Structure 1
Amino acid sequence: MSISGDQNNPYAQPQPNPYGQVPAQQNPVPTPQNPVPAQQNPYAQQNPYVPQNPHAPENPSPQQAIPPGQTGGYGYPAPGVPAPPTGPPTGAPVAAPGGAGRGPSGWLWAVGGVVAASAIWASLLFATGGFSSGPSPDLAGYAYTSDLCADTSMTPFEDAHYKTKASTGTASKDANPQHSGAQLKSLDTMTCNISFEQDGASTSAYSSTWLYNTATLHKQTDPAPEFADGYRSYEKQDTSVGYKVEAVPGLGDEAYLVTRKDDGSTSSSSYVILGVRDGWMTYQSTWSSYASSSGSDSGKQPTATEVATMLKTSATETLRRLRPGR
């Protein structure tokens, strides 16, 4: 008797496993006809250090490109996909601290421009001497002249019967009057020396009369703080010859007259100084005369008071001439 099919074979039924239920195989061997989905591979776990895109498909096809920013295993770029840029695109503004995606504020550029302009301006001032530690010189309208003798008023002396002595030679050292001048960085100086003689003076008597004038334009230092003490020091000095110092009103900002006291000698002489300051200009006129007692005309020598009057009158006109247009 033949047996048709296996269903009637009692021994062909599956037998229970005595060790329990065997789970179905979850990782079959992949074949070209049966590729294994990635999500079923227990060994294809996601990299916990790489951010995952929740919107990416579960099983992208081999032709689908990986979106920018996604990486392959362990954070490296996927094969064939260029790495995403790590910085801002070329030409993009640099984000300022404390603000996302903002460039430097406009006021910072403005402040930088002001600082740069100030630095350039300061350099120009230093180069040209614009910065100065002292005040500007107050020359009170006085100007430099190379020939102070030409501007010196001679009228008061001529009225007292004095005239300029004739030159004794042709050399410059023998010239009378003699003038000089110099213009320097800190001051301008002018001088005039004149030798006088009295009208009708006896040739048997010896006499010498000189007028020394100086004018100085101080261009860097104000002479005011030391001007008065320069003349008052005459009456303070330790010497056998005494001097009297007195202020003279009406001349410049301040003026002083220095007169040598009579020493009781047999000679007839006088020595008088007039000093004037007007702004940063200083002027001094000095009279020095001597005549021997043997001369018959020695008594005609002017007194110190008369000399002081001549010096003040001459200084007033001379200073006016040194101020052009005034």
Structure 2
Amino acid sequence: MAAMPMAGYGQPGTPMGAPPTMAPGGPAGGGGRGGRIWLWGLGGAILASAVWAGALLATGGFGGSDKPKADLAGYTYTDDLCDPTDTKTFEDAGYEVKGADSRNSSNPTHSSSQNPALDSMSCNIDFKPDSASSSDYSSVWLYTTASLHKKTDPAPEFEATYRAYESQKTSSYSYKVKAVGGLGDEAYVVTQTSRSSSSTGGYVILGVRDGWTTYQSTWSEYVSSSSGATAKTDDEAVDMLKKSAKATLAKMKE
């Protein structure tokens, strides 16, 4: 009588746990219908795994994360920032643009640059007080800059940029920084305080962040003590900068 295989073992000569010698459901040789079904099932599993892996990569499922998209708040690049810069506010306050009536005037001046990460624009305008005579010495200028941050959000460092002025003190002057409302997502004013009682001018900076767009305007004024003109107070300068910035930023969205 032939010996029977022991329970738990495969065919004689086949190690325990070894795979079957032919695909399930088909004869040896793999050329039958069962072999094709097995191959189709394997191909479907591979395809499903590839689709699943692709979906994970696309959605950051493997631990990656998509970089945030730049929020420029509707502002656009211009190669001449002086064009949208509001000067009417200063003209209404008693100033005029130097050389405005001259075709050969080099005032105002501007510069700009575009880059995949950052677009930068600037404008510098020289003014003179309406009440100043031709012999009076005065230096009044407005310097504005605008930046479109296309790769990095400026929000985390924006306030710190202006708060840093508070630590800049000398024997001649110091700075005060305060937050102001009504402009963009956040805005700060920096005023220079002179320790000299004979000061006849002012220096004020306004910084605005709206989304990933930043804007800054600087007012600098010096009027000689013998001049018939009077320099604006810091509060008056701040009001002018805020009003001008609001008008300028609105034009930059057009």
CA distance in 2, matches of 1:313, 1:237: 27
**What residue number does 1:108 align with?**
42
Quickly say closer, same or farther: Cα 1:226–1:261, change in 2 above 3 A. Answer: same
1:216 is the counterpart of 2:147: yes
Equivalent position to 1:152, from 59, 64, 85: 85
1:263 is the counterpart of 2:226: no
- Structure 2: which amino acid aligns with 1:310? M
| 1:117 positional shift | 5.5
Equivalent position to 1:88, from 29, 32, 49: 29
**What residue number does 1:202 align with?**
133
| 1:237 positional shift | 2.7
- SS of corresponding position for 1:148: coil
Runs of at least 4 residues off by over 4 Å: 115-123, 167-171
**What residue number does 2:121 align with?**
190
More RCO (CA 8 Å, sep 6+): 2
Equivalent position to 1:312, from 226, 229, 242: 242
- Structure 1: which amino acid aligns with 2:149? H
**What residue number does 1:301 align with?**
231
TM-score after normalising by structure 1: 0.61
CA distance in 1, matches of 2:113, 2:55: 34
CA distance in 2, matches of 1:201, 1:142: 37
CA distance in 1, matches of 2:170, 2:197: 16
CA distance in 2, matches of 1:238, 1:142: 35
**What residue number does 1:76 align with?**
none
What is the aligned length? 221
Equivalent position to 2:181, from 232, 241, 249: 249
- Structure 1: which amino acid aligns with 2:232? P
Runs of 5+ unmatched residues, structure 2: 1-27, 59-63
Equivalent position to 1:162, from 95, 112, 128: 95
Q: Percent identity?
A: 50
- Structure 2: which amino acid aligns with 1:246? K
CA RMSD of aligned residues (A): 2.9
| 1:93 positional shift | 5.2
What are the within-5 Å matches in structure 2 for residues 216-235 of structure 1?
A: 216-235=147-166
Q: Which has the larger radius of gyration?
A: 1
- SS of corresponding position for 2:176: strand
Quickly say closer, same or farther: Cα 1:189–1:122, change in 2 above 3 A. Answer: farther
| 1:175 positional shift | 1.4
TM-score after normalising by structure 2: 0.77
What are the within-5 Å matches in structure 2 for residues 57-96 of structure 1?
A: 88=29, 92=31
CA distance in 2, matches of 1:291, 1:132: 55
- Structure 2: which amino acid aligns with 1:318? T
| 1:293 positional shift | 1.4
